[in-house]
Amino acid sequence: MTALQEQDETVYDLIEKEAKRQKTTLNLIASENISSRAVREATSSVLSHKYSEGYPGKRYYQGNEFIDQVEQLAIDRAKQLFGAEHANVQPISGSPANFSIFLALLEPGDAFLGMDLACGGHLTHGSPVNFSGKLYKPHHYGVDKNGFIDMDEVKQLAHQVKPKLIISGHSAYAREIDFEAFSTIAQEVGALHLADISHISGLVAAGLHKSPFPHTDVVMTTTHKTLRGPRGAIILCKQEHAQAIDKAIFPGSQGGPHNNLIAAKAVAFQEAMSPAFKKYAHQVLQNAKVLAQTLMDHGIPVVTGGTDNHLLLVDLQGLLGPGKGAQTAKLLETAGIICNANSVPYDPAPPYKPSGLRLGTPMLTSQGFTEQDIQTVGVLIASVIKDPKVAPQVRKSVLDLCARIIQ
C-alpha cells in the first residue's frame, strides 16, 4: 500500500482510474503528452517545499543554495537547447507567460497583430474575452481559402495598423511557420516579434521545424506538449529584453516559483537534447502525416490537405454540416477516441459549438504507436464519423489496440 493510498484512498482511486483511462483510450489531444518517470519524480520532489522569490543569487529568502543551482541548470539547458541568449524558466503556464511578455513589452492600449483564434491562433493572441483583447488593441491575420497563412496579407495588415508587437505561432495550425518572414515584416514596421511555439517546441528542439531564432525578439513555449516536460512554460529572449522579461515575471506577475517544476523542466531539456528524443519527434511527424492521409483516403476532409507538424484539423462541414464538432468529439469519446472540438478557418458556427476536430499524435507516439498503428487509428476515427452506430464495436477495437501497444 502506498502512502497516498493509506492516507487518502479516494484521491488514490481517482488517480488510478485516470491512469487506466490513459492506457485504454486513444489520446489524440494535440496539447497533451506523457512525461518520463524522471520528469515526474522531479515534479513530486521535496523542491516544492521551498520558497525562493527572486532569481539565482538574488533571493528574498535564505536557504536557496541548491534551489539556485537547480534553476541555473534549467536556464543553461534551455538556452543551449534552443540557442537563446536569455531564458526565464519560472512561468507556471503558457497564458501567464504571454501575459508577462505583454507586461514587459507593451503599454495598455498598444496595438499588436496576432493570428485569429478562429484560424488557429490562441486566446492570448487577442481574444476579446482574454487579457490580451481586454487590455490591448488586437488586430488579426487569418488564412487563405486553402487554410494557409498569407504572408502578403500579414505584411499589408502590419503596414496598415503599425503594431508594436507581431505574434507568430498558433494552437491549431498544421503548417510550418516562416519565422524569418514574420521577422522581416516586424522590422519593416518597427514592431517587436514574439514567437509562440508552445505546440511545436519539441519539433524545433529536434531540428524538425524551423527555429524562431535568430528571427525573433522573444519566444514563449509551454513545456508539456511536444517537449514532453512538466506542466509549465519558459520565456526565451534576446539579451536586450532580459531585464524587462524577468521583472515582468517577478515581481510583475508571479511570486515564488515552483521549484519542483523548474527541476522537472531541466530534466526535460536534457532529454530533448538526446538522440532518442530526436527519433521520437520524427515519429510524431510521421504519425501525424499518416493520420491525415488515412483520414482523407477514407473521405474525411483535412484542412490544408495535410500537416507539417504534430496536429491536423478535420473539417466536418461537408459531411455533417456546421457546428457538429463538439457532438462528434463526444461520440468519439464513447468509442474510446479522445480529441477536442475545434473551429475551422472561417467557421460559421460559434467557438463553443465549432465545425471541426483537432487531432494530434504526440501522446500516442510516446505510448509506442507507429505508422501502421496510426493507420488503424485513422480508419477507426473515420468509421465512427461516418456511422455513429459502430461506436460500441470500435470501442472494443480500441481496447484491443491499446492492450497490444501500451505498456
Which residues are known catalytic residues?
51, 53, 196, 222, 225, 231
Coarse DSSP helix, strand, coil percentages of the chain, rounded to the nearest 5 percent: 50, 15, 35
Q: Which of 334, 335, 330 is nearest to 395 (CA)?
A: 335
Biggest CA pair distance of the chain: 65
Cβ burial 205-244 (10 Å sphere, 16+ → b, else e): bbebbbbbbebbbbbbbbbbbbbbbbbbbbbbbbeebbeb
Alpha-carbon distance values, 227 to 34, 106, 281 (Å): 10, 28, 9
Helix axes 259-272, 275-297, angle to 10 degrees: 80
**Rounded-to-integer distance, Cα 109 and Cα 59, Å:** 33
Length of the chain: 407
| Type of residue found at 291 | L
Alpha-carbon distance values, 393 to 308, 324, 336, 388 (Å): 32, 22, 11, 10
**Rounded-to-integer distance, Cα 332 and Cα 340, Å:** 10
**Rounded-to-integer distance, Cα 242 and Cα 235, Å:** 10
The sign of the torsion formed by the CA atoms of 231, 358, 322, 127 equals: positive
DSSP H/E element including 27: strand 26-27
Q: Yes or no: say if 233 and 94 are a contact pair by the CB < 8 Å rule.
A: yes
Instruction: Show the cell assigned to 373.
Output: 498503428
Alpha-carbon distance values, 162 to 94, 333, 402 (Å): 26, 45, 52
| Type of residue found at 32 | E
Neighbours of 322 (CB within 10 A): 16
Block residue for cell numbers 491575420: 141
